[in-house]
Structures are given as structure tokens and as C-alpha cells.
């Protein structure tokens, strides 16, 4: 990840606030007034008490009571509107940020997100957005208030005697000491959070694997591990608590020390006759109640560290360049319903890897034909399909769809020409109808039903409690693998693309289910161009052409009969019972 300086991150976050600047400024303004009115409540309130005790003050008792009540009455609404506006800005910005993140992921997917680890990054980043809320809702306004309120108090106290300002300034600066030392506990804070999520994951892992642990007699060891991790977390937590305790003690000492220092010097000024008793009360109470915004400021540091780390991750995702760039000025074409496909001398290696996955790859696929690509595991079969969909771009050579380089048209056009059904069909946590409609959101209910009938899943759907409106549950877990694949086929049918790519589409199914789904595919997609990638010999029987891929290049091709007669690589593969068995 590209490391960015904290100032740059902060400026970028502030820049995001610009469109909502009026609301943010209003929030800061109300916050300042609110905090000043809190000081006034204390000042007038103490004067009321002093007056009640018979001390002669410049203002009469009733006026003081009135002023205290007035300050108290405005304090509530000011605090309320400050919080309301601050959070309104924050949540509007967070929703904008989530949208931007999804946009970035859309651009980057699938090339940069295809592996599982990237999936985890996505989850982390969505969690990171929550941390950014701290900056928008709890940093900008408190920092501004933490500067303006103490400054106002310093100026005000200075009107009585400049010494009060100097004394207060020293104690204010002491209150901010945690800002300087926070960096020393930063590592402890990070360790604590990392340890916290590690122990959660470990615990969940242990729970899920409890049966295995008991079966293999490893539960005791696992328990010891949990104890050790728990102990480490407690140690880190103890360090953090010690720091927090120190910060709290420091704040309290500053407030009490500052107030006492101002009180004693005020009494001394009273003794000298420089100020009256009102002055002593006003200055002391003002001093005592002016630390709030600074204490809030110094308490920010911990959260802010997480916010910056989180923002850094978010910004580096937003800045990441996609691997596949749309051709500038590309405009959509009228779809050709019988396109041919040609790979011409294609060379490709995955980014960051030296080894070529495809080399000298030449493939010619005629319209409305069935092609099966077989080869050893890792020979590049799935990659051949991904290149056609432009998940990645070829390093050399070209791929043509209907005579046109696939880099020319927009990606949306390319993907409207093809449908991929893979072994792990993703079903959204939505209704069955919505899941099928992913293939074509404009489809009518009748069209969804027709597609489901053709995919042989309609009768099953009708047995569900809410038919097509039944929710499939998270990740489609309430459906069997076969049912999920049939929904994927219904989805593909409704998408109605002329080219169908089957990437191990039936690999997760038992032989019976596979046979029946292959029959559906053969029947329902008979007028389409089909490219199948599979390690099961059963899937290649109906193919017009079988291509044998080895180390990223086609080493043999022909009809099933031709290849069986040849006694070459293909027969060798079949001998092992798997169309992707190792050739050695
Ligand atoms: P097959 O489908 O024949 O099993 P693949 O096309 O999935 O083969 O993979 C071909 C090679 O490319 C393998 O060595 C695999 O490890 C590598 N590979 C696949 N996907 C990626 C990826 N996203 N990043 C880097 N290497 C990859």
C-alpha cells in the first residue's frame, strides 16, 4: 500500500467536506457558542451563589439569576444542533465514500479482487469507513472549538490581568501533552486492535473446528493457545489502560492546578485592590470551566490514529488504477448474434508473475459451435476464458470477437455478448426472482418463469414457501449445488448472450445432477456458441471441437473421435479419468 503523510490525508479528508462547508461551519459556530454558554452558566451561577451569600457584586441578584437561566436555556439547543449538523455532514460524507469505494471496486474487479485475500481487504475497507466518521463528526468541530474557546477565554482573562492569561496558557499546553506522547502508545494501540481481531478469528475458527479438535485430541492444546492469546491481549490492554489513566490524571491535574493557580493569583490581585470580588469569581470560574474543549481535543488522539490508518487504506484503494482500461471514445455496437472468436498468438502472464500462462495461443471458434478446452490443472484453461471477458488484457497478440479486437468496444458491449457460468455461482441474499433477473433486470415475471422452466428449476421453485419471492439466504446457502447451478442457467438464459462460457460449471455436482444439467445446457443453448472448460471427461463428449491446452498453448485439437484415434495427449488425459490430469 502506498504510504501517505498524515497531513496529506487530513487535507484530502477536509477537501471532501468542501461541498458541505456551510453546514460544517454552522456546526462549528454553534459548538463554540454552546461551549461559551457552558462557561457562562458556571460564571453566572457562581455569582448567584455569591450574591445569595451576601457578597456585594456589581450586578443585582435577579439579573444574575436571569443571565444564568438564559445561558442554560440556549446551551441545550446549541449542543443539540451542533451534534445534529456534525453527524449529518459525517453520514452524508460516509455514504458518498461508500459509493466511491464501490465505484472503485467496480473498476478494479475482477482482476485486482479475484483472490480471496482481496476479498478480505474489501471487508476491511468497508469497516474503515466507520472509522472515518470519527474525523467528520468528532474531529473537525472539536478541534476548531478546542482552539477558539480557550483563545477567547485567554483574551477575556487578559482583560482583568495579563498574568491570568499566561497562567492559563501554561496549563492549557499541559492538557495537550497527550497529543505529543500519543505516538509512543500508537504501536500498543495497533497491537491491541490486531490482537483483538486475531483472537476473535481464532476463537471462531476453534469453534467451527471443535469436532475435529475433539476427534484428534487437540482441544486441550487449542484451549491453551486461547489462554495465551487472551493473556497477550490483556497485557496490551493493561498498557493502554495505564496510558488512558495517565491522560485522565493529567487532565484532572491541569484543570485543578490551573483553577487553583488562577484563584490564588486572583485573590492576590484582590488583596492588591486591582480587581473586585466579582472579578475573582468570574476569572476563577471561567478558568475552571474552560478546559472542556481542550480535554476533548487531547482525548481525540487515539481514535484519530485509527482514522488516519483507515483513510490511508481507503484513499489508496480509490487511487488504484484498474488493469483493464476502456478504449477512449469506445461506443457500443449492435450485437452480432453469431460472432466468431479468434485468439491470435496470445501471450499473457499474471501481473507480478514472470511465468507466462498463455503463450503462442491460437484459437479459432466458429459461430454456434461447441468447444471444449481440456488440459492439466493449471495449464491456463480458466485464464483463456477470463482473457476473452477482458478480466485482464493480453500482453501480446490479439483476441477478436466477430473480427474486431476486443479492446475496441466498451466492456459492457463485450460482456453483453457473453455469459459465464462458473462452478461457484454467486447468489445474492435476495429473492429467487431478483437473482435470476441479475441476467436482465428488464425481464418480466413471465420471462423469468420461462427461463426457469427451461432450466428445469421452475417446479422446484414452486415448492418453496414463497415461490419466486423466496429469499435464497446468505450466499444462497439454502439451495443445493445443483439448484444453484440451475438458477445460474436460468440467469444465463435470460441474459441471452450469443456466447456461453462454462468454467467448470458442473464440477461441484454429482454425476446424476451433472448429467441432467449438461442435457439442459445442450438443449437450451443449442443455437449458441459454447466454450466449456472442465476437468471432467463427461462434459466434453458433445463438443464439436476439443482443444488440449498444455502450458498455455494448444497442443492438440479435433473432434472426440479424431483425438481418440490419435493416441496423443488427449487419450493420455482420458486414461487418468480426468480431462485435466497431469500429463506426466
Ligand atoms: P486451469 O484453469 O487450467 O486450472 P488457470 O487458468 O486457473 O488454470 O491458472 C493458470 C495458472 O495461472 C496457474 O498457475 C495459476 O496458479 C495462475 N493463476 C491463476 N489465477 C491467477 C491470478 N489471479 N493471479 C496470479 N496467478 C494466477
Q: Compute how many other C-beta atoms are within 10 angstroms of the C-beta atom of residue 208.
A: 10
Task: Find out whether the beta carbon of 350 lies less than 6 Å from any atom of ligand 1.
Answer: yes
Q: What is the pTM of this model?
A: 0.74
In a domain, 175, yes or no: yes
In a domain, 163, yes or no: yes
Q: Kindly state the cell numbers that stand for 426.
A: 454467486
Residue 89 near residue 27, CB atoms below 8 Å? yes
Which residue lies with its CA nearest to atom 13 of ligand 1? 378
Do 308 and 432 belong together in one domain?
no
In a domain, 504, yes or no: no
In a domain, 119, yes or no: yes
Q: Which of 459, 477, 496 is the last residue of a domain?
A: 496
Overall domain count for the chain:
2
Task: Find out whether the beta carbon of 582 lies less than 6 Å from any atom of ligand 1.
Answer: no
Task: Find out whether the beta carbon of 357 lies less than 6 Å from any atom of ligand 1.
Answer: yes
What pairing do the DSSP bridges indicate for beta strands 418-422 and 499-503? parallel
Do 154 and 269 belong together in one domain?
yes
Do 190 and 305 belong together in one domain?
yes
Query: Residue 454 is part of a domain; what is its CATH number?
Result: 3.40.50.300
Locate the ligand 1 atom nearest the alpha carbon of residue 552 and give its number: 10
Task: Find out whether the beta carbon of 376 lies less than 6 Å from any atom of ligand 1.
Answer: no
Which of 536, 533, 425 minimizes the C-alpha distance to 486? 425
Q: Which of 464, 496, 528 is the last residue of a domain?
A: 496
In a domain, 276, yes or no: yes
Query: Residue 33 is part of a domain; what is its CATH number?
Result: 1.20.1560.10
Which residue lies with its CA nearest to atom 5 of ligand 1? 380
Q: Which of 462, 496, 530 is the last residue of a domain?
A: 496
CA of 380 to the centre of ligand 1 (A): 6
In a domain, 227, yes or no: yes
In a domain, 583, yes or no: no
Angle at which helix 481-495 crosses helix 445-454, to 10 degrees, equals 120
Do 442 and 312 belong together in one domain?
no
In a domain, 278, yes or no: yes
CA distance 396 to 407: 12
CA distance 114 to 1: 18
Do 151 and 290 belong together in one domain?
yes
Domain that holds residue 169: 6-319
3-state class (DSSP) for residue 341: strand
Do 308 and 431 belong together in one domain?
no
CA distance 467 to 459: 9
CA of 69 to the centre of ligand 1 (A): 73
CA of 378 to the centre of ligand 1 (A): 6
What Cα–Cα distance (Å) separates residue 517 from each residue in 36, 406, 484?
A: 74, 30, 11
Do 435 and 306 belong together in one domain?
no
Local confidence pLDDT in tens for the 584 residues of the chain: 556 777 888 899 999 999 999 999 999 999 999 999 999 999 999 999 999 988 888 889 999 999 999 999 999 999 999 999 999 999 999 999 889 888 888 888 777 776 555 666 776 777 888 888 888 888 888 889 999 999 999 999 999 999 999 999 999 999 988 878 777 776 777 778 778 878 888 888 888 888 889 988 888 999 999 999 999 889 888 988 888 888 889 989 999 999 999 999 999 999 999 999 999 999 999 999 999 999 888 877 666 777 888 888 888 888 888 888 887 777 777 777 788 999 999 999 998 888 999 999 999 999 999 999 998 888 999 999 999 999 999 999 999 999 999 999 998 888 889 999 988 888 888 899 999 999 999 999 999 999 999 999 999 999 988 899 998 875 455 788 889 999 999 999 999 999 999 998 888 788 888 888 888 888 889 899 999 998 877 788 789 999 999 989 999 999 988 988 888 888 888 877 666 655 44
Task: Find out whether the beta carbon of 208 lies less than 6 Å from any atom of ligand 1.
Answer: no
Amino acid at each position: 500500500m502506498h504510504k501517505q503523510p498524515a497531513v496529506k490525508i487530513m487535507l484530502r479528508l477536509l477537501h471532501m467536506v468542501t461541498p458541505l462547508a456551510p453546514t460544517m461551519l454552522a456546526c462549528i459556530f454553534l459548538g463554540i457558542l454552546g461551549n461559551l454558554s457552558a462557561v457562562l452558566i458556571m460564571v453566572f451561577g457562581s455569582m448567584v451563589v455569591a450574591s445569595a451569600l451576601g457578597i456585594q457584586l456589581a450586578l443585582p441578584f435577579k439579573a444574575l439569576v436571569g443571565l444564568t437561566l438564559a445561558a442554560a436555556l440556549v446551551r441545550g439547543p446549541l449542543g443539540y444542533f451542533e451534534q445534529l449538523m456534525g453527524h449529518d455532514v459525517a453520514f452524508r460524507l460516509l455514504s458518498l465514500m461508500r459509493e466511491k469505494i464501490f465505484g472503485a471496486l467496480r473498476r478494479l474487479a475482477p482482476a485486482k479482487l479475484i483472490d480471496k485475500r482481496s476479498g478480505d481487504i474489501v471487508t476491511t475497507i468497508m469497516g474503515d469507513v466507520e472509522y472515518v466518521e470519527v474525523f467528520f463528526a468528532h474531529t473537525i468541530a472539536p478541534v476548531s472549538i478546542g482552539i477558539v474557546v480557550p483563545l477567547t477565554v485567554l483574551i477575556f482573562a487578559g482583560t482583568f490581568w495579563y498574568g491570568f492569561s499566561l497562567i492559563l496558557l501554561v496549563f492549557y499546553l499541559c492538557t495537550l501533552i497527550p497529543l505529543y506522547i500519543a505516538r509512543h502508545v500508537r504501536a500498543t494501540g495497533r497491537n491491541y486492535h490486531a490482537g483483538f481481531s486475531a483472537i476473535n478469528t481464532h476463537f471462531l475458527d476453534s469453534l467451527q473446528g471443535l469436532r475435529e479438535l475433539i476427534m484428534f485430541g487437540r482441544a486441550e492444546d487449542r484451549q491453551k493457545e486461547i489462554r495465551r492469546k487472551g493473556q497477550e491481549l490483556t497485557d496490551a490492554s493493561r498498557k493502554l489502560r495505564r496510558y488512558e489513566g495517565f491522560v485522565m490524571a493529567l487532565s484532572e491535574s491541569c484543570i485543578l492546578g490551573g483553577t487553583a493557580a488562577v484563584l490564588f493569583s486572583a485573590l492576590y490581585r484582590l488583596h492588591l485592590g486591582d480587581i473586585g470580588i466579582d472579578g475573582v469569581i468570574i476569572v476563577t470560574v471561567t478558568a475552571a470551566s474552560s478546559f472542556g474543549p481542550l480535554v476533548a481535543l487531547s482525548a481525540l488522539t487515539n481514535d484519530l490514529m485509527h482514522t488516519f490508518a483507515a483513510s490511508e487504506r481507503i484513499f489508496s484503494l480509490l487511487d488504484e488504477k484498474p488493469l483493464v482500461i476502456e478504449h477512449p471514445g469506445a461506443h457500443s455496437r449492435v450485437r452480432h448474434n453469431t460472432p466468431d472468436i479468434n485468439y491470435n498468438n496470445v501471450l499473457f502472464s499474471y501481473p507480478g508473475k514472470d511465468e507466462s500462462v498463455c503463450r503462442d495461443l491460437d484459437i479459432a471458434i466458429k459461430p454456434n459451435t461447441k468447444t471444449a478446452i481440456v488440459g492439466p490443472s493449471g495449464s491456463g484453461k480458466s485464464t483463456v476464458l477470463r482473457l476473452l471477458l477482458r478480466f485482464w488484457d493480453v500482453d501480446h497478440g490479439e483476441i477478436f470477437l466477430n473480427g474486431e479486437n476486443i479492446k475496441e468496444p466498451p466492456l459492457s458491449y463485450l460482456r453483453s455478448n457473453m455469459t459465464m457460468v462458473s462452478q461457484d455461482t454467486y447468489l445474492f441474499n435476495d429473492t429467487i426472482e431478483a437473482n435470476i433477473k441479475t441476467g436482465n433486470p428488464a425481464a418480466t415475471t413471465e420471462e423469468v418463469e420461462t427461463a426457469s422452466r427451461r432450466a428445469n428449476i421452475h417446479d422446484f421453485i414452486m415448492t418453496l414457501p414463497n415461490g419466486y419471492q423466496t429469499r435464497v439466504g446468505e450466499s444462497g446457502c439454502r439451495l443445493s449445488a445443483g439448484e444453484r447451478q440451475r438458477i445460474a442457467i436460468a440467469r444465463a438464459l435470460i441474459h441471452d448472450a450469443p456466447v456461453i462460457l462454462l468454467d467448470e460449471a458442473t464440477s461441484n455436482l454429482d454425476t446424476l445432477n451433472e448429467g441432467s444439467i449438461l442435457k439442459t445446457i445442450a438443449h437450451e443453448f443449442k443455437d449458441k456458441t459454447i466454450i466449456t472448460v472442465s476437468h471432467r471427461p463427461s462434459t466434453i463428449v458433445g463438443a464439436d471441437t476439443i482443444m488440449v491446452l498444455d502450458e498455455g498453448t494448444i497442443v492438440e485439437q479435433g473432434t472426440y473421435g479424431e483425438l481418440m484415434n490419435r493416441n496423443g495427449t488427449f487419450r493420455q488425459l482420458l486414461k487418468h479419468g480426468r480431462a485435466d490430469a497431469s500429463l506426466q
